[in-house]
Amino acid sequence: MRLAGPLRIMALVISVGLTWLVASILLGGPGGGFPRIQQLFASPENSVTAEPRARKYKCGLPQPCPEEHLAFRVVSGAANVIGPKICLEDRMLMSSVKDNVGRGLNIALVNGVSGELIEARAFDMWAGDVNDLLKFIRPLHEGTLVFVASYDDPATKMNEETRKLFSDLGSKNVKDLAFRDSWVFVGAKGVQNKSPFEQHVKNSKHTNKYEGWPEALEMEGCIPRRTTAS
């Protein structure tokens, strides 16, 4: 019976020592915080080092434009639900957020030398008056950049003069543009050749992404500044 007291003390000391040892292992030692506990509960996904995000440049381009070039991104509307976007030099010229887009053709006119916005308007090509569009693009000055993004229907009201004017701005696809096609285009007044900045997808029930509409188009790039504009 006399040994009961010392044995109890010894058991208590051993118990305290084991508790301290386990705590030291889990807590990673004094001042170590909780790294060992975090390791125990960390998932394999969390333990993998995250890859750094790719840097984005003006208008979300994956790389910067050369000097004396303007960075742009043009996105057509998706069906008749999501509006188009026109971005230039990290400035949103037209978008649903700016509340300046609409069904038909969304057009931003830009000074080709300074890169400044001249005017941005939407033209209803289903129920609108095509003469409003003609009055907008007939008097363009030499060197004016023309950014175009379709939304819903870009072509029902188009006539031959409209198609010729866009063709003179550098479009090669406007002659085939039809009801509910998707179209994005960047041209300029006074160009000698066809623009490299154009995309066109036909409205076809066999290939449409949406019911009644083709996929939305997205185009980006770098446009050389014009040296002079009249």
67-106 confidence digits (pLDDT tens): 999 999 999 999 899 999 999 999 999 999 999 999 999 9
94 and 100 in contact (C-beta within 8 Å)? yes
Q: For residue 34, what pLDDT band results from cuts at 50, 70 and 90?
A: very low
In angstroms, the CA 149 to CA 74 distance is 7
Confidence of residue 40 (pLDDT cuts 50, 70, 90): very low
User: How far apart, in whole angstroms, are the C-alpha atoms of residue 31 and residue 158?
Assistant: 74
**pLDDT value for 89:** 98
Q: What is the per-residue pLDDT across 137-170, written as a single tens digit (0 to 9) for each?
A: 999 999 999 999 999 999 999 999 999 999 999 9
Position 226 scores a pLDDT of 86
Q: What is the mean pLDDT of the chain?
A: 86
Task: Please state the pTM of the whole predicted model.
Answer: 0.76
State the residue for tokens 């950049």.
145
Residue 24 has pLDDT above 80, yes or no: no
